[in-house]
Amino acid sequence: MALTGLILLGFVIGHLIGNLQVFSGPEKINVYAEFLKNLGGVLWVIRGFLLFCFVLHIVTTIQLVLENRKARPEQYAFKNNVQSKLSTRMMALSGLTILCFVIFHILHYTTHNVNPEFGVWLDAKGRHDVYRMMIVGFGNPLASGFYIVAILLLSMHLSHGVSSVFQTLGLRTQKTAAAINALARTLALVIAIGYISIPVAVMMGLGKNYLQECGASSASCCTKPSASTKEGN
Q: Domain range holding 120?
A: 2-227
pLDDT in tens, 206-227: 999 999 988 755 444 655 544 4
Number of domains in the chain: 1
93-120, pLDDT tens digit by residue?
777 788 888 899 899 998 999 999 999 9
Q: What is the DSSP string of the chain?
A: -HHHHHHHHHHHHHHHHHHGGGGG-HHHHHHHHHHHHTTTHHHHHHHHHHHHHHHHHHHHHHHHHHHHHHS-GGGS-HHHHHHHHHHHHHHHHHHHHHHHHHHHHHHHHTS-SS-GGGGG-B-TTSSB-HHHHHHHHHTSHHHHHHHHHHHHHHHHHHHHHHHHHHHHTT---TTTHHHHHHHHHHHHHHHHHHHHHHHHHHHTTTTHHHHHHHHH-TTTSSPPP-HHHHHH-
| CATH value at residue 112 | 1.20.1300.10
Q: Summarize pLDDT for 42-96 with one digit per residue, the tens.
A: 999 999 999 899 889 888 877 876 776 676 555 444 444 444 555 556 666 777 7
Residue 194 domain-assigned (yes or no): yes
Position 179 in a domain: yes
pLDDT band at 190 (very low <50, low <70, confident <90, very high): very high
pLDDT digits (tens, 9 = 90+) for 136-164: 999 999 999 999 999 998 998 888 888 88
pLDDT of residue 71: 63
pLDDT at 28: 96
